[in-house]
Amino acid sequence: MKLLVTGGLGFIGSNFILQVLKNSSDFSVTNIDAELTGSDHHNLDELKNSPNYKFVKGNITNKIMMEKLIENHDCIINFAAESFVDRSILDANQFLVSNIRGTYTILEVLRKHKKRLIQISTDEVFGSLKEGSAHETSRFNPSNPYAATKASAELLVNSYVNTYDLDCVITRCTNNYGPRQFYEKLIPKTIFLANQNKKIPIYGKGENIRDWIYVNDHCEAVLRVLLDGKKGESYNVSSDNEIDNLSIVKKILELLGKSSDLIEFVTDRPGHDLRYSLNSSKIKNSLKWNPKISFDDGIQNTIDWLINNSGGKDISENILGSTPWKKS
């Protein structure tokens, strides 16, 4: 099967490509990536000599390029997205371009070339939940520009399924962590700063809760949906592992043998959702998927990988994007 993966130099996309090509000879992958924030060629260094992997530099908003690529592949997995909430609050324009216009471009090409699309979305489309967990049919309630653009992309996908009978499936996942994650996100940021004995900024009181899933488990879910997911359906992907931010930072500090004095509470970001939660019983029951990696094992694997692959480099605040707001 010939797969076209968009955004494959990023965190989740690169892990998906590696997992697919390592575990099966039935796939070949073309990776199109615009090399924007979060993209890193080193993520796929080990595939440099692979006959089943090809890289194309380009933007998914380029319809002519996408038409040529989609025509020659069996399936498209759309990981490409601007994804950091903080940056979407400061300037939403690129999120509109990548997350909405990019998805629209792919869908327009699929009207002519009837191939399967797996659209990668997020639990953030449902907004903050005081209690319970969002099901696939729960109401969208995005709280920030990033989440709003991902919800918009989902609506576009569903409209093209209904109007043009396209073969599209949507996956929504909770917070990922693991190897190759860009340094601006909470877990890699905390690991790098703690390892360098630098202050670790935490928004508000660190009470915000996310359901954390190891990236390999998410990639396995995407593959399962690619092969067996039903046209026009959406599937929530979660690990039932809800943890608040402060607890995660404290756990990382403990594992690294660092003092909690490194923690620095900073002014919360605007519209910061308190809690995300997904019910993933649908994919577990219908596609027989279940997460395999415990948080304890996953966080230790992540620490080991990031420290061993950092090359001793100093991660500046500009890269980390620690906070654009004043300290409390």
Q: Which residues are identified as catalytic?
A: 123-124, 146
What b/e sequence results for 46-82 when a residue is b if at least 16 CB atoms lie within 10 Å of its CB, and e otherwise? ebeeeebbebeebbbbeeebbbebbeebebbbbbbbb
Question: Residue 247: which of 297, 214, 208, 305 has the closest Cα?
Answer: 208
Question: Residue 287: which of 227, 232, 238 has the closest Cα?
Answer: 227
* Cα–Cα distance, 102 to 66 (Å, whole number): 10
What is the arrangement of strands in the sheet containing 234-237, beginning at the earlier edge strand?
53-57, 28-33, 2-6, 75-78, 116-122, 168-173, 234-237
Strands 209-214 and 242-244, bridge-based pairing: antiparallel
The CA-based dihedral angle spanning residues 320, 321, 322, 326, taken in that order and rounded to the nearest 10 degrees: 160
Say if residues 74 and 26 touch (Cβ distance below 8 Å).
Answer: no
Tokens representing 150 are 């991902």
Say if residues 229 and 192 touch (Cβ distance below 8 Å).
Answer: no
Helices (H), 133-228: 145-164, 186-195, 215-228
